[in-house]
Amino acid sequence: MKQFLVFIRKEFFHVFRDRRTLLIMFGLPVVQIVLFGFALTSEVKDITLTVIDQSGDVNTQQLIRKIKSSSYFIVNETSVDYNDIETAFKKGTAKSALIFPPNFGNDLQHGGKAQLQLLTDGSDPNIAKTVVNYITAITTAYQQEISPSQKLPYTILTESRMLYNEEGNGSLNFIPGVMALVLMIVCTALTSVSVVREKELGTMEILLVSPFKPLLVLIAKAIPYLLLSLANFILILVLAVFVLDVGIKGSIVLLFLESMLFIITCLSLGLMISNTTNSQQTALLISMMGMMIPTMIFTGFMFPLENMPKPFQIISNVVPSRWYFLIVKSVMLKGLGFSYVWKETLVLLGMTTVALTIALKNFKTRLS
Amino acid sequence: MIVCKDLTKRFGDFYAVNKISFDVNKGEIFGFLGANGAGKTTAMRILCGLSHPTSGEATVAGFNVYKQAESIKKNIGYMSQKFSLYENLTVLENIEFFGGVYGVSAAEIRKRSDNLVQKLGLTAEAKKLVGALPLGWKQKLAFSVAIFHQPRIVFLDEPTGGVDPVTRRQFWDMIYEAAADGITIFVTTHYMDEAEYCNRITIMVDGKVEALDSPANLKAQFKADNMDEVFYQLARGAKRSGD
C-alpha cells in the first residue's frame, strides 16, 4: 500500500511539473465553455432589421414599436428607398428588411386586409428562418390585439412550449456535450500518453523489474487522472451554473457517480491505447483522431444523430460519449432519476469492461 | 548467486538463447559480452524475471525463474542502457520513489539518501530536476538508485553507453565498491577495456556461450594480447548480425 502511495505521489509530480499538460487539463474546459457559451451560440439575437415605412400611420408605428421592444431586433429606420434595398442586401448593410406599403393602415382598417413584405438574406438560412418566425409571431400577436372582438368561425392556435428549456437557452444542449468532450480528451489522451512515456524513457522496464505489481502500475497511473478529471468535472459544472446559468435539475450525487463511471470508461480506453502503442505520438494521434473526432461528431450535441444516415447512427452506438451525453441531459436538464438512465449506464459499464480487459491482456503479453 | 543450466529461449524456430549454462558467484563482477543480437539481452531478461525461458533451469539468488519471479524481483537491482530515472523529478524525489517502490522505509530512505547525495557530491543539486544534470552524473545516480535497496545482485545492461572515459572510470570504481559490499554484479558491455575489469566473463555468439573464464585465462587460451582479439576471434564465426 505504501508503495502504491509513493507511486501516486510520483504521478502527481509528473502532472504538476508539466505545464502543458496542466494547461490542457484545465484550460480546455474553460476555453470550450467560453467558446460554446458565447461565441458559438445558436440563438439568434439582435438582428438588424431595416424598416421601410411607406405608410407611416398609427398601425405601422404600433407594429414597429412592438418589434423594437422584443430583444431580437435592432430596428434601423433610416429611410432607405425601396428601390435601393437590393443594393443594401448586396453590400451586406441589410440582412433583413420589413417593408410597409403605402396605405397599410388604411387597407387594414377599411379593407380588413393589409400586406407587408419581409425580405431576408437566404444565404444564411438559419437566421433567415428565425427572422421570418419572429416577425410572423409578432404580427399575429398584434393582429389579435387590435381585433379581439372579431370572432373567427374557426381558430387554431398553436401554443408551443420548449420543455426543460423554456427560454431556448442554447447552453443547455452543449454543456453536457462539452463535459463529454473534455473528459474524453483529458482522460483518454493524457492517460495513454503517460503510460507510453514511461515505455519510451525506459522507466517502464525498471518498474517491471521491480517488485511492484504490473496491474498496480496501471491502476496507479490511472488514479491521479481520475482525481484530476473529477476536479475538472466540478470545474465545468461550476462554470455552467455560475457563468452560463444552467441549472442542475436532477440529483448531483447521481450526476457525479455517472460522470465517475464515464471517466473510468475513458481511462480504460486510454490504458487500452497505451498498451497497444509504443510511442507518445502514436498514442496521442490515436486518442485525438480515434476519440476526439468521433466524440465531436457522434455524441449528438453538434449534429443531431437523428438526421444521420442509418449506418452512421449505428456507428454512433460504440462512441461512449454518446451515452454519457444522454445520461447528463436526462439527469442534469430533465431532472430524471436512475430508473431513466440505467440502460445507458449499463452500456458504459460494458464498454469499460471490454476496454479494461483488452488493456490488461496486452499488458500481460508484453511481459512474457 | 546465479545458476543457469541449458537455459533456452525460442521465438518460433529462432533460438535467441540456446542452451546456455554458467554460474555466478557471490560478490563477483561477471561480464556478459556478445555482438548485437547474440542473445545477451534476452538472457538477462529471463534472469530478471521479465521473460519465461522455453526450457532449461535457472535460479537467481536461490529463487527459481519459473515459479519465484516475484521473489527474484525483490532481490535484484536493474539498470538499463536507456537512461532510466525520471527527468522531471528531483534527485531526491527519484531516490524516494525507487526506494519506496522497493519497500524501503521512509526513515531508512532519508538516512541513506543523505549519505548517497554526499558521496556523489550532489548536495547542491539534490533538489534540482534530474533532467538538468549532465549525462555522466545521471548514469552514476541511476546506478546508485539501482543498488539503493541493497539488492543481492544488480543487472547492468550496457550501463556506460555514451559516457566519457573519465566518467566510465569513476563508474567502474562505483561498481568495485558495490562488489566489495557483497553485491554481485552482472554486467553487459560493448567496451573491451571494461571487460578486463571483470572477474570473469562469458562471450555469447549466436545464442550460445562460446567462452567463459577470467580475462587473463581467456587471453592465454586464445593466444591474444587483449580482449579485443579474443572477441574478434569468436565473433568472426557468428552467422547472425545486427539487432
The model's pLDDT over B43-93, given as tens digits with 9 standing for 90+, comes to 888 888 888 888 888 899 888 888 888 888 889 999 887 777 898 899 999
Q: Which residues in chain B have Cβ-Cβ distances shorter than 8 Å to A212? A: 101
Q: What's the grid cell of residue A301?
A: 450535441
The Cα–Cα gap between A105 and A56 comes to: 8
Check if B101 contacts A (Cβ < 8 Å).
Answer: yes
Q: Which residues in chain A have Cβ-Cβ distances shorter than 8 Å to B103? A: 2-3, 211
The Cα–Cα gap between A206 and B45 comes to: 11
**What rounded mean pLDDT belongs to chain B?**
86
Check if B127 contacts A (Cβ < 8 Å).
Answer: no
Inter-chain touch B85–A203, beta carbons under 8 Å: yes
Q: What's the grid cell of residue A138?
A: 409578432
Check if B51 contacts A (Cβ < 8 Å).
Answer: yes
Q: Return the pLDDT at A324.
A: 92
Inter-chain touch B103–A201, beta carbons under 8 Å: no
The Cα–Cα gap between A56 and A52 comes to: 9
**Closest residue in chain B to residue A14, using alpha carbons only:** B88
Inter-chain touch B80–A14, beta carbons under 8 Å: no
Strands B29-34 and B184-188: parallel
The Cα–Cα gap between A246 and A242 comes to: 8
The Cα–Cα gap between B189 and B157 comes to: 7
Inter-chain touch A205–B85, beta carbons under 8 Å: no
Do A46 and A253 contact (CB within 8 A), yes or no? no
Inter-chain touch B102–A18, beta carbons under 8 Å: no
Q: How many CB pairs under 8 A join A and B?
A: 75
- From residue A7, alpha-carbon distances to A91, A221, B73, B108, B145 in Å are 64, 8, 17, 18, 16
Cα angle for residues A276, A282, A284 (degrees, 5° grid):
105
**Closest residue in chain A to residue B90, using alpha carbons only:** A13
Strands (E) across chain A are located at 47-53, 73-76, 96-100, 117-120
**Closest residue in chain A to residue B70, using alpha carbons only:** A211
Cα angle for residues A295, A299, A305 (degrees, 5° grid):
135
Check if B10 contacts A (Cβ < 8 Å).
Answer: no
Inter-chain touch B97–A17, beta carbons under 8 Å: no
Inter-chain touch A205–B84, beta carbons under 8 Å: yes
The Cα–Cα gap between A288 and A294 comes to: 9
Q: How many residues does chain B have?
A: 243
The model's pLDDT over B136-192, given as tens digits with 9 standing for 90+, comes to 888 889 999 999 989 999 999 888 877 888 888 888 999 999 999 889 999 988 888
The domains found in chain B, sorted by start residue, are 2-235 (3.40.50.300)
Backbone dihedral angles phi then psi of residue B200, each to the nearest 5 degrees: -140, 155
Q: Which of B86, B95, B141 should be substituted to probe chain A, the one whose Cβ sees the most A Cβ atoms within 10 Å?
A: B86
Q: Return the pLDDT at A151.
A: 61
Looking at chain B, list the stretches that DSSP marks H as alpha helix, in order from N- to C-terminal side.
Answer: 40-47, 69-75, 91-101, 106-120, 135-146, 165-180, 192-197, 215-221, 227-235
Do A62 and A16 contact (CB within 8 A), yes or no? no
Q: What's the grid cell of residue A321?
A: 460519449
Check if B102 contacts A (Cβ < 8 Å).
Answer: yes
Q: Which of A207, A210, A367 should be substituted to probe chain B, the one whose Cβ sees the most B Cβ atoms within 10 Å?
A: A210
Partnered with residue B9 across adjacent β-strands are B17
Q: Return the pLDDT at A153.
A: 65
The domains found in chain A, sorted by start residue, are 2-40+168-367 (no CATH), 47-146 (3.40.1710.10)
The Cα–Cα gap between A66 and A313 comes to: 44
Inter-chain touch B101–A6, beta carbons under 8 Å: yes
Q: Which of A209, A217, A279, A280 should be substituted to probe chain B, the one whose Cβ sees the most B Cβ atoms within 10 Å?
A: A209
3-state secondary structure of A367: helix
Nearest to A320, CA basis, from A224, A215, A194, A185: A185
Q: Which residues in chain B have Cβ-Cβ distances shorter than 8 Å to A210? A: 73, 78, 98, 101-102
* The one-letter amino acid at A322: R
Nearest to A212, CA basis, from B151, B112, B100, B85: B100
- Please count the other Cβ atoms lying within 10 Å of the Cβ belonging to residue B152: 18
The Cα–Cα gap between B24 and B27 comes to: 9
The Cα–Cα gap between A54 and A79 comes to: 9
Inter-chain touch A211–B70, beta carbons under 8 Å: yes
Nearest to B199, CA basis, from B225, B233, B175, B170: B175
Check if A8 contacts B (Cβ < 8 Å).
Answer: no
Mean pLDDT by 10 residues, chain A (368 residues): 85 86 83 77 74 86 87 78 82 84 85 85 83 86 75 69 68 79 84 85 84 83 89 89 82 92 92 85 85 83 81 87 90 86 92 89 62
Check if A140 contacts B (Cβ < 8 Å).
Answer: no
Q: What's the grid cell of residue B12?
A: 518460433
Inter-chain touch A3–B89, beta carbons under 8 Å: no
